[in-house]
Amino acid sequence: MHPILAYQERISVYLLCWLIFGVMLAAVLALPHDFSWTEALSLAVPLTLVYSGICLSSWYVCRVYPLQKSSLAQVIVVQTMAATLTILLWILIASGWVVILERALVLTTFRSRVLTKAPLLIGVGNILYGLTVAVHYLIATFEASKESEQRELQSRIFAQEAELKALRAQINPHFLFNSLNSISALATQDPAAVRAMTLRLADFLRKSLRLGAQEMIRLEEEISMSLNFLEIEQIRYGSRLQIMQNVEEVCKDCLTPPLILQPLIENAVHHGIAHILHGGTITIEASWRGSVLHVRIENPVDPDRPHNRKGGLGLENVSKRLRAIYKDDAQLQTEESNGIFRVNLWLPAQTSRDFHSRSSATTTVKVSENLPA
């Protein structure tokens, strides 16, 4: 659709500008006293408004011959031809309007006086057509720039979605690898435990597939999946693996990316509890501080264990997902002291009610102010 006719505000501004041009043309006709103000306004204003409608057609010429893809000479030739045809049509309409005015207002020598102003009208027609073409080219350039920005934004969104899908796709294979190792370790020792672990693993995978397909889930659901995973591991580790959780009630409705905690819980088991003879307790805590959701996971570790300098796949995966989803509005920090390994996770505290309507700029300021230095 025509970019001016598509918006009522643009139509109003467009007609107002042409009305001003019509009054200015009437002044040019009336001030030398060749026409009275009544004659000048009756002639200039209606013709100018009619010409505004004719000049709208120049948009289609501008689209066929855009400045970015056409040579300057080609644009000049084409627009000159279009201007000539437009002015001829305008002059033809003006001739009929002059006859109507002469008869309606009983004006003497009106046609002959208008005829002497023909060069002026042709010159004004050229100027107004040129201005209309310039406006149309500006609109075309603006819309092309806007479309380019939208395509770039869409490309970034697609790239981000592809990255998130790739990162989330890493979770299940890594988790299955560790779970199958656990099942293998029990296969010759406790077949009943293997059966129980297999059934619980199937239930966990079914739930993770359902919730993992969502963009965001409630923290209560995320922690529930983590506890299901720990129940699977308890079959193998028995009393060596203890669980403690302290989640503030207000935090349960906060939204988190699905399976964001599961790799951290998995690390707590396989890099912590598994290397301690008497096992220990994995603690999950969640609190709401200002505009930030703080989740902490603690587990005992063997201080003499070999350290992985590059960090585990789980931590790296979670860090990349946080950057892709929240940019600088989320943080993941790890620390170890006195035989306890801690993972601190800070996320924007948002619920399902404000997830789709939250202001990115406002949230960025608030979250950044509450994040640790």
* β-strand partners of 285: 246, 296
Q: What is the pLDDT of residues 32-86, one digit of tens each?
A: 888 889 989 999 999 999 999 999 999 999 988 988 888 999 999 999 999 999 9
Burial of 15 (0-12, 13-18, 19+ CB in 10 A): middle
Going by pLDDT thresholds of 50, 70 and 90, the confidence category of residue 363 is very low
Residues 6+ apart with CB under 8 A from 84: none
Kindly state the average pLDDT of the residues 115-134.
92
Domain ranges of the chain: 8-150, 190-370
Q: By the 8 A CB rule, do 341 and 268 touch?
A: yes
Q: Per-residue pLDDT for 153 more than 70?
A: yes
Kindly state the average pLDDT of the residues 197-207.
81
Long-range contacts of 193-197 (CB under 8 A, 24+ apart): 193/235, 193/236, 196/235, 197/232, 197/235, 197/236
Q: Per-residue pLDDT for 168 more than 70?
A: no
Q: Given this model, what pLDDT does residue 161 score?
A: 62
Q: Per-residue pLDDT for 357 more than 90?
A: no
Cα–Cα dist 361/366, whole Å: 9
Got the DSSP string for 21-48? HHHHHHHHHHTTTSS-HHHHHHHHHHHH
Q: Is the pTM of this model over 0.95?
A: no
Higher-pLDDT residue of 53, 161: 53
Going by pLDDT thresholds of 50, 70 and 90, the confidence category of residue 107 is confident
Q: Given this model, what pLDDT does residue 359 score?
A: 40
Mean per-residue pLDDT of the chain:
84
Q: What's 159's DSSP letter?
A: H
Q: Per-residue pLDDT for 266 more than 50?
A: yes
Cα–Cα dist 3/13, whole Å: 13
Q: Given this model, what pLDDT does residue 91 score?
A: 92
Higher-pLDDT residue of 51, 144: 51
Cα–Cα dist 130/83, whole Å: 8
320 Cα distance to chain centroid: 20
Q: Per-residue pLDDT for 347 more than 90?
A: yes
Q: Per-residue pLDDT for 364 more than 50?
A: no
Cα–Cα dist 55/141, whole Å: 19
Q: Given this model, what pLDDT does residue 122 score?
A: 92
Q: Per-residue pLDDT for 263 more than 50?
A: yes
For residue 11, how many other CB atoms are within 10 A of its CB? 13
Q: Decide: helix, strand or coil at residue 68.
A: coil
Largest Cα separation within the chain, whole Å, is 118
Q: Given this model, what pLDDT does residue 207 score?
A: 79
Q: Given this model, what pLDDT does residue 335 score?
A: 92
3-state secondary structure 177-243: HHHHHHHHHHHCCCHHHHHHHHHHHHHHHHHHHHHHCCCCEEHHHHHHHHHHHHHHHHHHHHHHEEE
Q: Given this model, what pLDDT does residue 362 score?
A: 38
Higher-pLDDT residue of 146, 173: 146
Residue whose token pair is 């890099």: 271
Nearest to 164 by CA among 204, 207, 212, 225: 212
Kindly state the average pLDDT of the residues 133-151.
87
Q: Which CATH superfamily is domain 190-370 in?
A: Histidine kinase-like ATPase, C-terminal domain (3.30.565.10)
Going by pLDDT thresholds of 50, 70 and 90, the confidence category of residue 170 is low
Kindly state the average pLDDT of the residues 185-209.
80
Q: Given this model, what pLDDT does residue 372 score?
A: 62
Q: Given this model, what pLDDT does residue 248 score?
A: 92
Percent of the chain with pLDDT over 90: 37
Higher-pLDDT residue of 225, 359: 225
